[in-house]
Structures are given as C-alpha cells and as structure tokens.
C-alpha cells in the first residue's frame, strides 16, 4: 500500500515506513522511522511488530565528522578476529560501525533505554548537519559508551551498496529531513517477512510500503544515477 510520495510524507511526520530492498539482495522488508521521531512506543513496536535487530542509521557526513570506522575495518586489524571479516552472501560490505549506549541509561536494552540512546544519537547527527561539528564530537564521545545495545549503521552510499541503511537515509534526504533513521528487519518465526505479508501489515497499520528500486529511481531522477561502484579498499 502506498506510493513513494506517501512514504515521504509519512517519514517527515515520524510515521513508520516499510522498505523492501529487492528479491536479488536480502529479500527483506525493514520497519523504518525518522530518527527524530523515535520514542518508547516506536521502539516497543519495532521489537514486537518487526522483531529484527533495532539499529540506528547515520548519514555519511556525520559518520565522517565523528571519525567512526566500519566494524569490518577495525576487526581486520585484530588477530585472530580478522579471520571473521567476510562479505555477506548478498555481495555488499556491511554497514555496522560501533554499538553504543547513552551514559544515562540503565542496562541499555530496555525500550526506554534504547529510545534514549537513539534520541541522543539523533541530536549528535543533527548537530553535524547544522554545522556544529565540534559540539557533536564532544557530545558523542562524552555521552556515549561502547559496547552498548544500539548498533550504529554507517552509510556507505547507494553507489556502493543498496541496503536498508542506504535506502532509509536516501528516503530521509528525499523527504528533506536530516539523514537519521532507526530500522529493524521484519520477521516471522524462522524467516523474514515476505513482501506480500508486509503488504498486509501496510494495509492493517496504514504504514506505506515502498520498494528500494523506487527510492533509487527517484534519487537518480533528482541528482543523477547512483551507479554501483567498486567496494572500498
């Protein structure tokens, strides 16, 4: 249910959007929300309706400002953990960076805790995009701890991968908001939610369902084709 225009309107309002990547990639649907709209109710619904890992996706400019490395890069420098670094079956490098908690939380895993961590991560990202890079860096490195319970997904860009990290942040940019999103895979017992099953959820809850190729086509229309390029060294 829904078009890309409806998905953009929903995202701006903080309403969840369901994003399907493609049948030749993960073949998954993610429940995605604008980072600035996350609260306890959203985290609870992500945990109960979606069920997958709840992650925070951060735009590339903020990632670079904070000097956040990809987990695959820093693990490659640690033996014997370097042997664990491999390319997933769908053929693109992962987006995981570092897992964090905000210092004010209790255990970090509770709905209220993860909502707090996500909200504060959004504030950090917002500071970067407002030009307050030093303040963002200070807040991040003073107010967060690692390891924690919220993985940061670092944007690689649609030219490198077409994952839910890139698709959700592309949706944010198309919607005219800060590239900041929270997402979780939608699961049922033993497997991922199919596109048709996600369509039923979309109809029941009123959350727009959009395909990844629709997002990519709109990016191409507005700013040029996001051609898949070589993987970073």
DSSP conformation class of 152: E
Out of 26, 28, 101, 164, which one is annotated catalytic? 101
pLDDT bracket for residue 4 (50, 70, 90): very high
Domains and CATH numbers, the chain: 4-223 (3.90.870.10)
The H or E element containing residue 34 is strand 29-34
DSSP 6-18: HHHHHHHHT--EE
27 classed as catalytic = no
Out of 21, 26, 28, 30, which one is annotated catalytic? 30
Instruction: Say what the pLDDT of residue 230 is.
Output: 33
C-alpha distances (whole Å) from 101 to each of 111, 131, 172 are 12, 24, 24
101 classed as catalytic = yes
164 classed as catalytic = no
CA 93, CA 87: separation in Å to the nearest integer?
A: 6
3-class DSSP state for residue 92?
Answer: coil
132 classed as catalytic = no
Instruction: Say what the pLDDT of residue 227 is.
Output: 58
Out of 27, 39, 61, 90, which one is annotated catalytic? 90
pLDDT bracket for residue 233 (50, 70, 90): very low
Instruction: Say what the pLDDT of residue 232 is.
Output: 30
Please write the tens of the pLDDT for every residue from 107-144: 999 999 999 999 999 999 999 999 999 999 999 999 99
CA 77, CA 30: separation in Å to the nearest integer?
A: 31
Bridge partners (DSSP) of residue 19 are 30, 210
Q: Given a cut of 80, is residue 193 above it in pLDDT?
A: yes
Q: Given a cut of 90, is residue 207 above it in pLDDT?
A: yes
Q: Which carries the bigger pLDDT value, residue 225 or residue 20?
A: 20
113 classed as catalytic = no
DSSP conformation class of 83: G
149 classed as catalytic = yes
Please write the tens of the pLDDT for every residue from 61-115: 999 999 999 999 999 999 999 999 999 888 888 999 999 999 999 999 999 999 9
Instruction: Say what the pLDDT of residue 179 is.
Output: 97
Q: What percentage of the chain reaches a pLDDT higher than 90? A: 84
CA 148, CA 144: separation in Å to the nearest integer?
A: 9
């Amino acid at each position: 249910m829904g078009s890309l225009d409806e998905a953009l309107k929903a995202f701006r309002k903080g309403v969840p959007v369901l994003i399907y990547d493609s049948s030749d990639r993960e073949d998954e649907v993610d429940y995605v929300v604008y980072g600035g709209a996350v609260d306890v109710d959203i985290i609870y619904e992500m945990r109960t309706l979606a069920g997958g890992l709840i992650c925070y996706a951060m735009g590339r400019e903020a990632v670079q400002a904070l000097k956040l490395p990809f987990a695959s890069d820093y693990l490659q420098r640690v033996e014997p953990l370097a042997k664990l670094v491999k390319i997933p079956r769908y053929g693109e490098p992962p987006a995981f960076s570092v897992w964090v908690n905000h210092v004010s939380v209790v255990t970090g895993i509770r709905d209220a805790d993860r909502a707090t961590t996500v909200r504060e991560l959004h504030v950090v990202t917002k500071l970067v995009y407002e030009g307050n890079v030093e303040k963002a860096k200070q807040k991040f490195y003073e107010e967060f701890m690692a390891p924690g319970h919220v993985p940061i997904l670092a944007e690689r860009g649609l030219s490198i991968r077409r994952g839910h990290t890139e698709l959700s942040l592309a949706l944010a940019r198309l919607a005219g908001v800060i590239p900041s999103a929270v997402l979780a895979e939608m699961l049922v017992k033993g497997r991922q939610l199919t596109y048709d099953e996600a369509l039923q959820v979309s109809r029941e809850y009123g959350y727009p369902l959009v395909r990844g190729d629709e997002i990519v086509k709109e990016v191409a229309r507005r700013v040029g084709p996001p051609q898949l390029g070589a993987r970073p060294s």
